[in-house]
Amino acid sequence: MAVIEVYEKSRGLAMMEDLYAALEGRIGVSAPTSCPVEFASAFAKLAVAQSCGKCTPCRVGLVQLGELIDGILDGYGVPEDIDLITELAESIYYSADCAIGYEAAAVALRSIKGFKDDYLFHIEHNNCGADSFAPVPCVAACPAGVDIPGYLALTAAGRYNDALSLIRKDNPFAVACGMICEHPCELQCRRGMMDDPINIRGIKRYAADHCDANVLPAKAAPTGKRIAVIGGGPSGLSAAYFLALMGHEPVVFDRRSQLGGMLRYGIPAYRLPRDILQAEIDFLLSAGITVETGIRVGEDLTIAELAEQYDAVYLSIGAHKENRLGLEGEDAEGVFSAIDILYNIGGDEVPDFNDKDVIVVGGGNVAMDVARTALRMGSKSVRIVYRRRVMDMTAQAAEIDAAKAEGCILQELVAPVGIELADGKVCGLKVQPQMVGAMPAGGRPAPVPLDEPAVTLACDALVLAIGQVIDYHHFEAAGFKVERGRFVAAKDGSAGHADGIFVGGDCSSGPATAILAIAAGKAAARSIDTYLGFDHSISVDVEIPSALPKGKAYCARANMIEVLPQEIAGDYSLVECGFSDQEAQQEANRCLRCDHFGLAALRGGRSFSW
């Protein structure tokens, strides 16, 4: 009789798992600007290493595929090789027995289709034509180009004022971003190849918490040029701040009574306290920004009037209009827009949700924010319904976890199909159960209705958080070109239909993050300054501490924790705790100083001005 052995993980298997984990970490923080031809070659070799060797397409075809790509990299390629690679990859794709072969071929086909010009450049010039120069990965990944290694080193040295000055060279909202930035820089942190990416946002928050003097940089001589900035959100205020430092006279017009845009009216106070935001806005205004609130451009003032009165105009309105489900009953009593709720609370007007059962529809950060806010408004229960899986939500994982920790119920794979009313008031949401369907390449799986009856979820209030759009109709009538709900602009941000008019932020990119809006404001300031005939620079006079070798000791990432209030109703106090002194020191000193060690030491590692 055969003996069945009890499974035990062998030492060799454990080591292979460690190697795969190291490979996963390396790929996870790889810059998207890497050479696509080199990447395709490496991927083909990896697939060969994984092949069991049973089928010829995989055993032989993948080797040939790699050799053809390597020939191009080594300077032996000819244009006909691209067709040969395509034919070979298609043959492997349709004849390989398993995913090791046909998925490797699929990657090769996507590489050829998406980067044909790069393959041809290699063939014609024996060199890479990709824009792959990213000497400091975190800086390259930051939309605003903030000198991250620099302010980490300054924070480690206890020079918090200098750290904030360095951040504000590129990002005026240093304090706000320390609390709410989505930190794309961390996704490219090279420390992730060792253990975990550095908690960059946490260190920024620590430096902001310990800064005791906000000092404006030196301003350029007055130019006498006046710029109208339409929209007092992160993009408009960033542009205005930099333009003021350049010596111009920016005037910010906003339709609301207070500035901040979605920082004030879209992010709850328990994530970004209003007094902290206002203090930072006041600091930016002190650079020489004039403000006109309660002005609806397009109604109270026209773009034509502003263009006549000012030397340039920057349009940076946000996405403050909600999407709709398109269901009967959306205008009934008890149905709310998430944007309206957050807007009202931002203006200190709290709707009455006391002792109500609330349903929130959506899966983004706004849905999580409004769900957690509903608990603070006294709701008896809050249920978040989403037509896809929780893992497909666009909200950050930390936001989803926080919503669950505070008591929100997440119900996935249910799509709203009807709103139930009683005496003109909402009493329930009718939902159709869904299942996971086909998944497009690089996308999320589409939900597919199950052959099951729809069910009704009882509620006293229904909140819709299914995305925002731009209210662009007044501006379209004024001549702005609009495509797919966004303003069309040239690369320099100019609107094109009239000289001196620029657009940026959410109205150009679509609803995005605060750091993307800030980056758009920075770019707009540069473009407007150039348009006006100047070449000002924004600089900072800060000496960065020397980079010293710290060895190769492994150390886990420190995370900021959230302390939930004992009684959540009515409590809008800040929930995220900043680092302790020890945590900040340890985390800042985990930085590998890519600004000094590696390519950045030769060129492109640091710029003290732009």
End-to-end CA distance of the chain: 78
Is pLDDT at 603 greater than 70 in this prediction?
A: no
Q: Comparing 226-320+470-531 with 323-467, is the CATH topology the same?
A: yes
CATH architecture, domain defined by 34-125: Up-down Bundle (1.20)
Q: Reply yes or no on whether the pLDDT at 387 is more than 90.
A: yes
Q: What is the pLDDT of residue 467?
A: 87
| Tokens linked to 603 | 């060129």
Least confident window among 100-104, 180-184, 475-479: 475-479
pLDDT of amino acid 608: 76
**Summary mean pLDDT of the chain:** 90
Cβ atoms < 10 Å from Cβ of 171 = 25
Q: What are the Cα distances from residue 590, in Å, to 94, 180, 191, 391?
A: 47, 22, 8, 30
Sequence spans of domains, the chain: 34-125, 137-215+554-603, 226-320+470-531, 323-467
* Furthest C-alpha separation in the chain: 96
Tell me, rounded to whole angstroms, the distance of Cα 302 from its chain centroid. 32
What pLDDT, on a 0 to 100 scale, did the predictor assign at position 133?
58
- Structural class in CATH, domain 137-215+554-603: mainly alpha
Q: What is the CATH number of domain 226-320+470-531?
A: 3.50.50.60
Q: Which residues contact 117 (CB under 8 A, 6 or more apart)?
A: 129
The pLDDT tens digits of the residues spanning 60-84 come to: 899 999 999 999 999 888 999 999 9
Among 182-196, 380-394, 436-450, name the one with the lowest average pLDDT.
436-450
Tokens of 194: 């060792």
> Could you tell me which CATH class the domain 323-467 is placed in?
alpha beta
pLDDT of 256-287, one tens digit each? 999 999 999 999 999 999 999 999 999 999 99
Alpha-carbon separation of residue 524 from 236, 459, 518 (angstroms): 9, 45, 10
Question: Strand pairing of 425-436 and 455-458?
Answer: antiparallel
Q: Would you state the pLDDT for residue 1?
A: 64
Mean pLDDT to the nearest integer, 445-451: 92
Residue 142 is given by DSSP the state S
Q: Which of 552, 551, 554, 593 is nearest to 135 (CA)?
A: 593
User: Is 340 or 53 the better-scoring residue by pLDDT?
Assistant: 340
d(CA 287, CA 217): 9
Highest mean pLDDT: which of 278-287, 491-500, 507-516, 600-609? 278-287
